[in-house]
Every structure is written in structure tokens, then in C-alpha cells.
Amino acid sequence: MIKTSFADAAGRALEGIRAEGRYRTFVPLARQAGAFPAARLHGRTITVWCSNDYLGMGQHPVVLEAMHEALETYGAGAGGTRNISGTTQAHTNLEVELASLHCQESALLFTSGYVANEAALTSLGKLLPDTVIFSDAGNHASMIHGIRQAGVDKRIFRHNDVEHLEELLQQVGNRPKLIAVESVYSMTGSIAPLVEIVRLARHYEALLYVDEVHAVGLYGAEGGGIGQALGLDGQIDIVQGTLGKAYGLMGGYIAGRSVLVDYARSTAAPFIFTTAIPPVVAAGALASVQYLRRSGRERFIHRQRVLALKNALREAGVPFRDGDSHIIPVMIGDAVLCKKVSDTLLQKQGFYVQPINYPTVPRGTERLRVTVTPQHSEANIQELAHALGMLVGVKKTMAAA
């Protein structure tokens, strides 16, 4: 009986999600190394327009070669948690490289960027019991969960509003403070005013934690992120990043002062009680990070492609949020229409852009989150802009239907 009630409740909840037009379906792609951003889907060739493999490093020969070699050297899995036989030289070499990339004393790997945020913010947040955490209203779910689990006081400041942040900082006197922000916000493409935030953190003696997940590999002379691009190397207390987006692999990390990183290593349950990422992944990530430190070519072409796509969308009359970064949200504002536009693009044109719905974004702000890579051609860009223009541009054919 009780089991049936669980199943009934799950069924009803799913019906509700479907009725709101935000039921999520997988698109099972057959990615093809060497052909990205083309992929196979149900026997057809399609073009992917929503990958976070921003630079196509997931198929880069340097990365693949390092992974083949690591597979032969280490075998498949890590064989344990980091503390119990799961640490290899591939892991420690990558941590040394990441610390150096961010001009920090140490770095620590986690199984994903999500886990890194949740674990590090929980651990550091509750280190001093009277701490207040100041969190940007646009922060990612992983940061929100980490902050919540820290169980200390928090203040949410309006997105990227440094005046509001300062107002809130002034209200808490000399209690320990931690400011948590992203550098590039993943759903709007906006960039944080990091110079100002660093100044406030210094002035109010707050620990500054910056999620550079959507910036590492892409910004800064060596791909160190927005902090590096703005000359803030070493001025951010904890930099958090992922290996799963511009670096083309998976895994997350934090980098910062040794004593703080070591504290997270020694106390964060999501670090301690889980199997380490496979050494083959760590070796591939190391190759990717090292490659993008010395080569600016991919970043250069990427920037050009982003500008070209924004121009093409503008010409086609497509409404998008121009947030200074590479992320291009095409605003639709309705879950059912968003899914319909996405389905039509895939079925008719073979363009895959995933609809983004609540709870990832607030209701009424549903969007297509378009990402372009150095591997998308000028012709690809024109075709997508044209197709989107026909569906949601000035003609608004689909919106009117």
C-alpha cells in the first residue's frame, strides 16, 4: 500500500510537470570525435548548439592522446576514494597545474563542479559559527545548496549589484563574512563586476569565493578565467572551476590558500566518501589545461564566432540577452513555446538547442541557451540565425501560431 502511494504521488507530480510543459526528455546523441559540432541522432546528422564543450576540447588530439596513454598506464578506474588508494600521479599533477593556473598555493579535485561548490561552501561556511554568507541572487543551485548546508546566516544580494552587497556587508558589523559569486552567470551570460567585489571583500575583510565554471579555459591570457582576465590573480581567496565545460572532460576543483584547501580536503564529506575521478580523466584534463594555457588560438576564434552569431541573430531580429560573455540566451518566456521551438529546430533543421525551463530559470523567462564553438562555421551560424529568425524573430511565425 505504502509503495503504491509513492508511485501514485510520483505519477501525479510528473503529470504536473508535463502539464506545465517542462517535462525533460533526453536527446541521446552519438557524438563523433573529429566531427563536432555535428553528431548523429536516430540515424541523422545534426548540429549541436547547446554544448558546454565550449572549445571542442573533448575531441582535441592532445587530450585524446593523453587519455589513451593514461588508459594504458593506469587502467580504467581510480580504485578508491582519494584517501583509500584512489590517488594517482595523474590526480596530484592536475592539482599542481590548477593551483599554478590560478596563482594559488593549492588545488583540490572533486568529482564535479557541482560537488566542489556544495562541498567547499558547506565546509568553509561553517568553519566559524558566527559567519554570514553573502550570496548573489543569480548563484547556481550547487552554491545555494552548499550555503544552505553550512547552516549559518546568509544574505542574498541583488544580481551583480555591488551597492546592495555593500549595504548588506555594513549591516553585520565584524562578524566573519564570506562572499560567494560566479564570474560568468550560466543562464544569463552576465559577467560579475569582480574588481568591485574584490575591493569590497578586502575592505570588509570577507573571504571571497568565485565560481569560474563558465570562464575557465575561455577567459584570461592562459584561460584562468575572468579573475585572470581582469588582473585579479591571487586576489580571490577561493577559485572554483570545472573540467567539464571548456576543458572538455569532467570533474571540478577549488584552488586557494593551502590551509583552506587542506581543511576542505580533511572535512568535506562529498570529497572524502566517494571514488576519485578516473586517472584517465585527470590525465586528459591536465593535457587540456596545459594546452589552453599555452594556446590562445581557440579562445580567439571562439570570441570571433560569438560576435558573428550575435550579429547574425541581431540581423535576423531574434531577441537575445547580450551579456558580454559567450553565452547567448534567446528569450522565449513560455515553457510550452520554448519546447515547441526547440523541437521544430531539431526536427526541421537538425539544429539541437535544449529548452531551458523552471527550475533552472524562473518561470516566464524560459529560453534557448545557445552556445557557439570555434568548430561552428560561418555557414552554420547564418543557418541557425535564419532558422531562429523564422521561428521567434521579427516575423514570429511560431509565437503567433
Residues in 241-270 that interact with ligand PLP by CB under 6 A: 242, 244, 252
Residue 113 in the binding site for ligand PLP (CB under 6 A): yes
Please name the residues in contact with 367: beta carbons below 8 A apart, sequence gap of 6 or more: 187, 329, 330, 331, 332, 333, 338, 355, 356, 361
Question: Within 10 Å of residue 56's Cβ, how many Cβ atoms?
Answer: 22
Q: Which of 51, 87, 135, 142 binds ligand PLP (CB under 6 A)?
A: 142
Question: Within 10 Å of residue 369's Cβ, how many Cβ atoms?
Answer: 21
Q: Please report where in the chains the cell 542574498 appears, as a residue.
A: 156
Q: Choose one: 155-163, 211-219, 302-310, 319-327; the region binding ligand PLP (CB under 6 A).
A: 211-219
Q: CA Rg, the chain, in Å?
A: 22
Q: Which of 136, 211, 222, 366 binds ligand PLP (CB under 6 A)?
A: 211
Ramachandran assignment for 279, one of left (phi > 0), alpha (psi -120 to 50 degrees), beta (any other): alpha
Residue window 271-290: x/- pattern of binding to ligand PLP, with contact defined by CB under 6 A: --------------------
Ramachandran assignment for 227, one of left (phi > 0), alpha (psi -120 to 50 degrees), beta (any other): alpha
Q: Dig out the grid coordinates for 131 from the structure.
A: 559567519
CB 110 within 8 A of CB 85: no
Q: What CA–CA distance (Å, rounded) separates 144 from 222?
A: 29
Q: What CA–CA distance (Å, rounded) separates 105 from 96?
A: 9
Residue 98 in the binding site for ligand PLP (CB under 6 A): no
Q: Dig out the grid coordinates for 153 from the structure.
A: 546566516
Q: CB of residue 71 vs ligand PLP: minimum separation in angstroms?
A: 22
Q: Choose one: 6-14, 209-217, 317-325, 371-379; the region binding ligand PLP (CB under 6 A).
A: 209-217
Q: CB of residue 19 vs ligand PLP: minimum separation in angstroms?
A: 27
Q: Which of 82, 91, 140, 265 binds ligand PLP (CB under 6 A)?
A: 140
Q: CB of residue 252 vs ligand PLP: minimum separation in angstroms?
A: 5
Residue 212 in the binding site for ligand PLP (CB under 6 A): no
Q: What CA–CA distance (Å, rounded) separates 339 from 19?
A: 12
CB 366 within 8 A of CB 321: no
CB closer to ligand PLP out of 94 and 390: 94
* DSSP tag of 274: S
Residue 54 in the binding site for ligand PLP (CB under 6 A): no
Q: What CA–CA distance (Å, rounded) separates 11 from 105?
A: 50
Q: Which of 47, 88, 160, 186 binds ligand PLP (CB under 6 A)?
A: 186
Q: Choose one: 87-95, 208-216, 226-234, 355-363; the region binding ligand PLP (CB under 6 A).
A: 208-216
CB closer to ligand PLP out of 329 and 393: 329
Q: Which of 114, 157, 219, 271 binds ligand PLP (CB under 6 A)?
A: 114
CB closer to ligand PLP out of 254 and 392: 254
Residue 118 in the binding site for ligand PLP (CB under 6 A): no
Q: Which of 47, 112, 123, 228 binds ligand PLP (CB under 6 A)?
A: 112
Task: Describe the chain by its helix, strand, coil percentages, rounded to 5.
Answer: 45, 15, 40
Q: What CA–CA distance (Å, rounded) separates 276 from 83?
A: 9
Among the options 154, 245, 339, 340, which is catalytic?
Answer: 245
Site size toward ligand PLP (CB under 6 A) is 14
Question: Within 10 Å of residue 272's Cβ, how many Cβ atoms?
Answer: 14
Q: Which of 213, 268, 309, 330 binds ligand PLP (CB under 6 A)?
A: 213
Residue 189 in the binding site for ligand PLP (CB under 6 A): no
Q: What CA–CA distance (Å, rounded) separates 372 from 313?
A: 12
Q: What CA–CA distance (Å, rounded) separates 240 from 271?
A: 14
Nearest C-alpha neighbor of 388 from the set 348, 357, 360, 358: 348
340 labelled catalytic: no
Residue 354 in the binding site for ligand PLP (CB under 6 A): no
Which stretch of DSSP H or E encloses residue 24?
none
Residue 138 in the binding site for ligand PLP (CB under 6 A): no
Residue 182 in the binding site for ligand PLP (CB under 6 A): yes
Q: CB of residue 373 vs ligand PLP: minimum separation in angstroms?
A: 16
CB closer to ligand PLP out of 142 and 288: 142
Amino acid at residue number 14:
L
Active site residues: 245
Interacting residues with ligand PLP (CB under 6 A): 112-114, 117, 140, 142, 182, 186, 211, 213-214, 242, 244, 252
